[in-house]
Amino acid sequence: MIELPQPYLIFLGDLRDKPSAKTAYGVRDWSPGACIGQWSLPECQIDLGLARMTPVRAHSEGARALLIGAAPFGGGLPENWISAILEALQAGLDIVSGLHTALSSVNEIATAAARCGRTLYDVRHSDYERSIASGRKRTGNRLLTVGTDCSVGKKYTALGITRAMQKKGRSATFRATGQTGIMISGAGIAIDAVISDFVAGAAERLSPDSPPDHWDIIEGQGSLFHPAYAGVTLGLLHGSQPDALVLCHDPSRYHMANYPNYRLPSLCEALDIYLRHGRLTNPRARFVGVSINTAALDAAEGAAALRNAEAETKLPAVDVLKNDLSPILELMDGASC
Amino acid sequence: MIELPQPYLIFLGDLRDKPSAKTAYGVRDWSPGACIGQWSLPECQIDLGLARMTPVRAHSEGARALLIGAAPFGGGLPENWISAILEALQAGLDIVSGLHTALSSVNEIATAAARCGRTLYDVRHSDYERSIASGRKRTGNRLLTVGTDCSVGKKYTALGITRAMQKKGRSATFRATGQTGIMISGAGIAIDAVISDFVAGAAERLSPDSPPDHWDIIEGQGSLFHPAYAGVTLGLLHGSQPDALVLCHDPSRYHMANYPNYRLPSLCEALDIYLRHGRLTNPRARFVGVSINTAALDAAEGAAALRNAEAETKLPAVDVLKNDLSPILELMDGASC
């Protein structure tokens, strides 16, 4: 499991469009206390609303790392960002990156980090996680978010439930399985970067034994219905051994994102197949709610989508960014060990 | 995809027990034409029945690589094998290894290989395979072997079907997904060593578009019912897009090998879940037979096991090492595109 130095100075490079800054916005929204300020190249047109500062100033105010909060098209490292990264290393900051290109593979950066005694955290590279799953049932409670597709709100749902639990004084930990989640929480395993043989084992390590009243709220990945990523989803499901599951869905979508020939499953199809596989490693697995992403709908459409989902699944349906999550938390109490 | 230099000189190290030499026996049995001879340290007690020869002699007789045909406990490289490997490099042979320890990570060996201009083939290391599955249906026909558990005969079944097809003059290629299969066929991808995000993509690359009368016979891995490896199995299933499936089963087993708390599924449970997932990427997927491993049974028990499997599944059941495979080949004709 990777553990990151916080707080961060968030670096935005020369980004011009918000979608490419998804990681930066996610960290700002869900972990504001971990963000000291923002820094960018002159061409940048993104403003997170944080104090603008240089690496030297951020370091003096307590920042421990420069977080590359951007996912440029293709996931590579733009040439013109390198000197900024070198400047941050020089100022005493470690570097946290979710780029496909490992910082440690860029000679100039690796050399400068060694010279400055700083650490490079390549969050997307977790192929060193190499333990085979034991299948042993662990103590404590686990909830896993699963989806009808990729990018339907599995991370936000897990974060929302964690926050709602903590507000009620309950013991709950968000367990990150993707790069943005890891940057938000400061720890986790990028599960889709683990060698396939070790995915379920990594999920077991991510959520170890815990006290009987504790819940780990695990960020799901992919979908069992996805032609490219279903294997990642299944390994994560088996290793997580969830007591409770929440199904995440975007009702404005009619086929898998980027795969127009692949239809979305119905909610009940999805409940059925997730439970069937979930019960292999935890026979007590059950669904405790449906998380509907109503961002693309108006108020009336959103309300109708929630009603339809409740009628179809007989489970509480919520938009985690808009609704009270108590109905889900109540069913979690019933699913607890 | 890795492609290996053949024929091999098979190296047995100082092995004393047959199970550790599983790879060597597999290559000798299924690819005798690829084996020039055997070589071992004086302490070795395994005899494959091949001509004994040194690397220098093997090279002069046409061998192109030393194949490390052993899986010592733990999968590491025994210290006392290193000088033998250096001797083979010196004699002009490449090295093929399925050990967990990458040969290229052993300084002495990497240096010697570079000096001699030879190549090190670490068959188990395929984390460089990095393409995302497209989900696009490919031309030609594919059969995938799947299992109720690991190590029930998926490789032997795929090899047996390939050989039976070829004997009838049909166009068929065995597609290897594990280290021994790769050594036997000389090409393939060790699918469980691929980064999880790219497993289905690697399976797509392994079995590309082919003519309408051609069959790729793909070696399965793991089991959808396995608490550690099911994700690998699912990614391979989705990327393979099989038209035909054969379910492999060992009737002498009552729980998953090494996982006594995990029961084996019934044959019909297995047929159902494999089809459900297989039809995501190929709606025409169907089962064409059951492969029963009767090695641990006497003749009467074996015959009963086949009868029971046929009654339960309504499919032809065979032991691929003992029976005629025509009933499976006939159903394959019906599944062809």
Average pLDDT for A40-45: 94
DSSP state of A152: S
Distance CA B183, CA B174 (A): 12
Mean pLDDT of B22-35: 93
Residues of chain A contacting B192 with CB distance shorter than 8 Å? 195-197
Q: Cβ(B229)–Cβ(B150) under 8 Å? A: yes
Give the pLDDT of residue A74: 73
CB hemisphere CA count around B21 (13 angstroms): 21
- Percent of chain B at pLDDT exceeding 70: 99
Residue B321 has pLDDT above 90, yes or no: yes
DSSP 8-state secondary structure symbol assigned to residue B52:
B
Give the gap in angstroms from C-alpha B307 to the nearest C-alpha of chain A: 28
- Tell me the average pLDDT across B97-125: 94
pLDDT in tens, A201-255: 999 999 999 999 999 999 999 999 999 999 999 999 999 999 999 999 999 998 9
How far is it, in rounded angstroms, from Cα B78 to Cα B82?
7
pLDDT in the model for residue B74: 73
Classify residue A217 by burial, with Cβ atoms within 10 Å: 0-12, 13-18, 19+. Answer: buried
Question: Shortest CB distance from A193 goes to which of B197, B201, B232?
Answer: B197
pLDDT of the residue at A337: 67
Percentages helix, strand, coil for chain A (3-state, rounded to 5) are 40, 20, 40
- SS3 call for B136: coil
* pLDDT score at A19: 85
pTM, two decimals, is: 0.95
Kindly state the DSSP code that residue A135 receives in the 8-state scheme. -
Q: What is the pLDDT of residue A71?
A: 75
Query: Using alpha carbons only, how large is chain B's radius of gyration in Å?
Result: 20
By CB neighbour count within 10 A (0-12 exposed, 13-18 middle, 19+ buried), where does A74 fall?
exposed
How many A/B residue pairs have CB atoms within 8 Å? Answer: 119
A238 contacts on B by Cβ (under 8 Å)? 227-228, 230-231
| Mean local confidence (pLDDT), A10-35 | 92
DSSP string of B73-105, one letter each residue: TTS---GGGHHHHHHHHHTT-EEEE--SS-GGG
The two three-digit tokens of residue A91, written as one number: 């100022």
Q: Which of A132, A228, A235 sits opposite B201 (nearest CB)?
A: A228
The residue of chain B with its CA nearest to that of A264 is B280
| A266-313 per-position pLDDT tens digit | 999 999 999 999 999 999 999 999 999 999 999 999 999 999 999 999
Interface of chain A toward chain B, CB-CB under 8 angstroms: 127, 132-135, 191-197, 199-201, 224-225, 227-236, 238, 259, 261-262, 273, 276-277, 280-281
End-to-end CA distance of chain B: 26
Straight-line distance from the first to the last Cα atom of chain A, in angstroms, rounded to the nearest whole number: 26
pLDDT at B72 over 80: no
Q: How far is B118 from chain A (nearest CA, A)?
A: 26
CB B287 within 8 A of CB B246: yes
Question: Looking at chain A, which residue has its C-alpha nearest residue B126?
Answer: A195
Average pLDDT over residues B237-242: 98
Cα angle: A303, vertex A336, A291; to 5 degrees:
20
Whether B236 sits inside 8 A of A233 (CB atoms) is no
> Residue B224 carries which DSSP code?
T
pLDDT of residue B337: 67
Lowest mean pLDDT among A88-102, B65-79, B317-331: B65-79
Lowest mean pLDDT among A138-142, A302-306, A332-336, B1-5: A332-336
- Write down the ipTM of this complex: 0.94
Per-residue pLDDT tens for A160-212? Answer: 999 999 999 999 999 999 999 999 999 999 999 999 999 999 999 999 999 99
> What average pLDDT is seen over chain B?
95
Q: What pLDDT shows up at residue A12?
A: 95
Does residue A100 carry a pLDDT above 80? yes
Cβ–Cβ gap B135/A194 under 8 Å: no
Instruction: Give the percent of chain B with pLDDT over 90.
Output: 92
Q: Do A195 and B191 touch (CB under 8 A)?
A: no
Q: Which residues of B touch A272 (CB under 8 A)?
A: none
Residue of chain A nearest B135, judged by CA positions: A227
pLDDT band with cut points at 50, 70 and 90 for residue B163: very high
pLDDT over 80 at B232, yes or no: yes
Q: Write out the two tokens for B57.
A: 């002699």
**B232/A232 CB distance under 8 A:** no
Q: Among partner residues B192, B194, B238, which is closest to A230 by beta-carbon distance?
A: B238
Q: Shortest CA distance to B158 belongs to which of B320, B322, B44, B48?
A: B320
Chain B positions contacting chain A at CB under 8 Å are 127, 132-135, 191-197, 199-201, 224-225, 227-236, 238, 259, 261-262, 273, 276-277, 280-281
CB within 8 Å: A232 and B132: no
B15 and B68 Cβ atoms separated by less than 8 Å: no
The region of weakest confidence among A97-106, A112-121, B138-147 is: A97-106
Contacts of A101 in chain B (CB under 8 A): none
Mean pLDDT, chain A, whole residue set: 95
Residues in chain B with CB shorter than 8 Å from the CB of A259 are: 135
Q: How many CB atoms lie within 10 A of CB B31?
A: 18
Contact B195 A191 (CB under 8 A): no
Question: Is the Cβ pair A231, B235 closer than 8 Å?
Answer: yes
Segment B180-191, tens digit of pLDDT: 999 999 999 999
Mean pLDDT of B155-166: 97
Nearest to A196 among B135, B232, B261 (CB): B232
CB contact under 8 A, B280 and A135: no
Q: Tell if the CB–CB gap between A196 and B262 is shorter than 8 Å.
A: no
Closest CA of chain B from A196, distance in Å? 4
Angle between helical axes of A107-116 and A82-90 (0-180°, round to 10): 10
Question: What is the C-alpha separation between A260 and A234, in angstroms, rounded?
Answer: 22
Residue entry with tokens 């090409």: B187
What pLDDT is stored for residue B131 in this prediction?
92
